[in-house]
């Protein structure tokens, strides 16, 4: 949505500059080369979800631009975990490679959840956000409700535009609901724009017991996250 705004120049793909050593060693000159050309008055935007959970990224971003404004999209951590697993499973199956069920990855028999598994660690939002809040003031970080972004994208976009100092651009007539994907798509210009095919895939069946254990485990972590951002979300 932001990429369609005339005041925004958006990078086409995830850059992974601040969280991957091989890229960071290439220097800021390399990073600038990954950015689109922008005109005076335009904001340059790039999206790399891996920055959020990278311990080194906050200080590296601040060293480059202390006034940087940051967008964080969050969703129910259990949904995020299952969605992440679904994408990995699909990619492995597309290459005819096996991948174990989520239960086998996360459960350790009678010992319960393997809370050190990276799929769980990535969903500890309070842990990661604390690193960013130790580096940037809260006013520089805008949290987007990922669930609301799916259900009411225009309302969330308006909050983002306000945070970034952008004039409103897209309107209700630019959105239509794609029944097949289960997401809203954009009608702006000659052709519709929808999220890529990796979004909206049906999730594999997951044991209810595992989902209950995940909800229980994340509960206290979610409460800490709510306290940090000063708002609550309708998560399990």
Largest CA distance in the chain: 60
Reported as type and span, the H/E element at residue 157 is helix 153-164
Query: Residue 138: which of 24, 207, 227, 51 has the closest Cα?
Result: 227
Tokens (6 digits) for 90: 């699909």
Known binding residue 201? Answer is yes
Give the torsion through C-alpha atoms of 112, 235, 142, 225, to 10 deg. Answer: -50
Q: Which residue is it, tokens 């999220």? A: 195
Known binding residue 83? Answer is yes
Known binding residue 56? Answer is no
Known binding residue 221? Answer is no
Known binding residue 176? Answer is no
Reported as type and span, the H/E element at residue 160 is helix 153-164
Query: Residue 166: which of 37, 68, 43 has the closest Cα?
Result: 43
Sequence ranges of the binding site for 3'-phosphoadenylyl sulfate:
75, 83, 184, 199-203
Sequence ranges of the binding site:
75, 83, 184, 199-203
């Amino acid at each position: 949505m932001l990429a369609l705004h005339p005041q925004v120049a958006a990078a086409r793909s995830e850059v992974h500059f601040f969280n991957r050593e091989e890229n960071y060693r290439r220097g800021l000159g390399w990073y600038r080369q990954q950015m689109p050309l922008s005109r005076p008055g335009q904001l340059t935007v790039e999206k790399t979800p891996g920055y959020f959970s990278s311990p080194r990224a906050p200080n590296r971003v601040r060293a480059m631009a202390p006034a940087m404004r940051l967008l964080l999209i969050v969703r129910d951590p259990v949904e995020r975990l299952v969605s992440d697993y679904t994408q990995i499973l699909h990619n492995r199956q597309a290459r005819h490679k096996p991948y174990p069920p989520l239960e086998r990855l996360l459960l350790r028999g009678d010992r319960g959840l393997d809370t050190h598994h990276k799929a769980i660690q990535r969903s500890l939002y309070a842990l990661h956000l604390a690193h960013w809040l130790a580096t940037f003031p809260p006013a520089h970080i805008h949290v987007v409700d990922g669930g609301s972004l799916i259900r009411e994208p225009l309302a969330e976009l308006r909050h983002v535009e306000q945070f970034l100092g952008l004039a409103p651009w897209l309107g209700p007539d630019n959105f239509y609901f794609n029944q097949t994907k289960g997401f809203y798509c954009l009608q702006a210009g000659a052709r519709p724009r929808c999220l890529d095919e990796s979004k909206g895939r049906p999730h594999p069946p997951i044991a209810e017991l595992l989902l209950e254990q995940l909800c229980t485990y994340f509960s206290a972590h979610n409460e800490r996250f709510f306290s940090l951002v000063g708002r609550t979300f309708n998560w399990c």
